[in-house]
Amino acid sequence: MTTAIAETYLRSTRASERAAAAAYLANAALAAETPRDDRHAAISALTLLADDPSPNVRAAIALALAGNRRAPLHIVLHLAKDQPSVAAPILLRSPLLTEGDLVELVATLDARGQTVIARRAGLTPGVTATLSAFGPRDAVIELARNDDAEILPSAFRQMVERFGCDAELREILIRQARLPVDCRHRLLASIGDVLSQSAFVKATIGSERAARVTRDACARSTVSLVEGARTAELSELVARLRETGHLTTAFVLRCMALGKMEFFVHLVAHLSTVPQERVRTILVSGRDLAITALFDKAGFAASIHQPLVGAIHVWRSVARGERIAGVREASQAMIDAMGKENSSQAGPVVSLLRQVQADATRAAATETVRIAA
């Protein structure tokens, strides 16, 4: 029966009839109950069909073979390199395509084919890395949407490096829980740059205020990133902040006022080149002289040593259970530690700490209202 259908197919001149026969032959070749000779005949006919001049015929074969492990491998590989309307089912679903096959296809197919591969379930790191490094914009966007793809941090960094200025990709990546914290910071900084350069924003509030508001918003966002970062990501975030010039005195003070002690350990260790465990020991139980010596080695301005030490004492007492305190108390201790300092840097430091206090007060009031509601 199958041989007869194959012969009919080979003599047919109408593409629609050949497509119907092609689908029948493909299903026959896949069926376990098909006799061996009929299966061989069907595969032989399908091998010819795979070069049929009509894309509808080739598409019928691809659709029938796409999700089946019994499909003839040589036909699957041949159709995977066909035009996107034919190859799409194979590229999207064929279990016969290995990581090596997919990497080769990414390197050889056009943008439409690469975009189809980016939607494929269960993509492995080798494929996602290749797409991130060489795929076109649309393929990278589809990959970013693909929650079933295994994307390593290095691949996310490639996406951000290549297309971080693309608004659509930024929006998708920001919602990705797997995005490394340093990539998240880079995207937030990119958004800040766009806002600060916006003609509308400048016309509304002025260039200087736009730059200041954007800078403050970026600092707050970066602190939020610190809160959500995994411990293993903190060193990478510190390196990123230092590289981009966001590791400012104001940011250091804000982090300490907010009690980001683990991040502060990574920060000081990175800047001072002192091992993390040694830094942690000094910050947790060291004397003030040891702490300030560590700050000197880290390159912190002398004017912020005492405020930082004041906050450390507050957070130490909280950790020991000796007092209940939060951001407002820590920032006040930092202000008090400034004493009667009249240097040119004292004013900006106090202003920043007052702002941190105000932010904490507003946050507490908002939370109280939320709970009451």
Contact 33, 68 (CB under 8 A): no
pLDDT tens string 229-260? 788 888 888 888 888 887 888 888 888 988 88
Contact residues for 117 (Cβ-Cβ < 8 A; gap 6+): 91, 92, 102, 105, 106, 109, 123, 127, 131, 139
Tokens for 78? Answer: 């041949």
Contact 230, 245 (CB under 8 A): no
Highest mean pLDDT among 139-143, 203-207, 352-356: 139-143
Residue where the block lists tokens 């001149």: 13
Confidence of residue 1 (pLDDT cuts 50, 70, 90): very low
Helices (H), 229-372: 231-244, 249-257, 261-272, 276-285, 288-298, 305-319, 327-337, 346-372
- Compute the distance between CA of residue 215 and CA of residue 207 in angstroms, rounded to an integer: 12
H or E, element range at 113 = helix 111-118
pLDDT tens string 73-123? 999 999 999 999 999 999 999 999 999 999 999 999 999 999 999 999 999
Across the range 128-154, mean pLDDT stands at 95
- Compute the distance between CA of residue 210 and CA of residue 204 in angstroms, rounded to an integer: 9
Across the range 173-186, mean pLDDT stands at 86
pLDDT tens string 326-360? 888 888 888 888 875 545 556 777 888 888 888 77
Please state, rounded to an integer, the average pLDDT across all residues of the chain: 85
Q: pTM for the complete prediction? A: 0.68
- Compute the distance between CA of residue 75 and CA of residue 48 in angstroms, rounded to an integer: 10
Provide the pLDDT for residue 141: 96
